[in-house]
Structure 1
Amino acid sequence: MLQLKSIFLFLSIVLLSTSNEVTISWRNNYKLSWEHFKGQPQKNTDAVAVTASGITFSYSLKHRNSEVIDFTANVEAHFYPEKSWYIKERANQYILAHEQLHFDITELHVRKLRHQISQVKINNFLKKTLDRLHQNSNEELAKMQKRYDTESHNSINTEAQTKWQKFVAKELEKYEAYKSAD
């Protein structure tokens, strides 16, 4: 039996992204297709596909007399076509759905981070607070992505794959108020 395997590649945007890099923003009614996976497949791997996605985060603080008086924050889930790849001969719609769920998990953590940011009180330690929230969000995202691949055995365990699809859909609905714009 052909073993199908996919790998999620979590990217730290601050370290690996360039301002000219092409990205796809997560949108509720927009799904990935194999045409979006433009990277070169790795050789000598069991992986059928790699999804590169991550959280893009920025903020600005407004000061008055060295006191922080307000802030704005922007949090987005992005997919990186040039860093994502697949092996055409082994790919199918089932594996694409597995890869889409990796992107959906990224959006889930974007929503959770937006929710946390909405709870932040303005103070002079705001920069540190926002940076910590972002860091924690990235760590939780990486853990969930790894757990997803482990439990679903990289999509091979169809029962676990279905369980994850239902779980992520429920969680996305729970944080619906913080979803990315369509």
Structure 2
Amino acid sequence: MKWSIVFLLISVQVFSQKIIWSDQQKLEWSNFKSKVKTMRNPDVVAYTHCGWEYSSTVSSDPSVPVKIKITTIFREDKSWKDPKRINDYALLHEQKHFDIAEIYARKLRKEVMEHIKTSSDYNKNFKIIYNRILNEYKDFQIAYDRDTQNGMNKEKQAQYNASIAEALETTK
């Protein structure tokens, strides 16, 4: 019985075409599996489709404690690369997009832990907190690409690399 459960879990992970964020696993170009170029900008070398998934156990009894799991994911089937222009430097830029998603997932987890204890709290506050953090996350991702010129501005990229690494460290 144990083997079938382990196999099932491995199968789901292998065939799900998503990677769960871990500081032990970095993206590789082979993870970018979409054949469809999703960006119109000709200067873009790759597109990283990342964000969060969450699951919750909410009771109809408003006083029951709620459990919420928030996971940062990278979608291989929706992430694209121009194979003629990829390099390690561009891959680092894309990894930082994934790292930014984890930073904001940590912010979301923190707010959820502080403000959502019961099913009633969840029903009243989760969408508000989620949408606020999501908007902050989207704004930061846009600023990151704009400021670094999609990774082409090496000085700005180095600044973001340092600030992202610091944020990952301080939000552990």
Instruction: Give the TM-score, by structure 1 length.
Output: 0.79
Looking at secondary structure, tell me which structure has more helix per residue: 2
Please state if 1:145 is matched with 2:141. Answer: yes
Task: Please state how far the C-alpha of 1:41 moved relative to its aligned partner.
Answer: 4.1
In the other structure, the counterpart of 1:83 is 78
Does the 8 Å CA contact 1:59/1:74 hold for their aligned counterparts? Answer: yes
Please state if 1:48 is matched with 2:45. Answer: yes
**Aligned pairs (5 A) from 1:1-182:** 21-42=16-37, 45-63=42-60, 66-122=61-117, 124-176=120-172
Task: Please state how far the C-alpha of 1:47 moved relative to its aligned partner.
Answer: 1.6
- RMSD of aligned C-alpha atoms? 1.7
Paired-residue identity, %: 29
Does the 8 Å CA contact 2:48/2:80 hold for their aligned counterparts? Answer: yes
Task: Please state how far the C-alpha of 1:130 moved relative to its aligned partner.
Answer: 1.2
1:147-175 CA-to-partner distances (Å, cap 9, x unmatched) read 00011111011010010011011111111
SS in 1 for 2:45: strand
Amino acid paired to 1:81: E
Name structure 1 gaps, 5 residues minimum. 1-19, 177-182
Name structure 2 gaps, 5 residues minimum. 1-14
Paired with 2:53 and 2:116, the residues of 1 have a C-alpha distance of 22
Higher relative contact order (CA 8 A, sep 6+): 1
In the other structure, the counterpart of 2:5 is none
Task: Please state how far the C-alpha of 1:51 moved relative to its aligned partner.
Answer: 0.4
Looking at secondary structure, tell me which structure has more strand per residue: 1
Amino acid paired to 1:60: T
SS in 1 for 2:22: coil
Amino acid paired to 1:167: S
Aligned residues: 155
SS in 2 for 1:38: coil
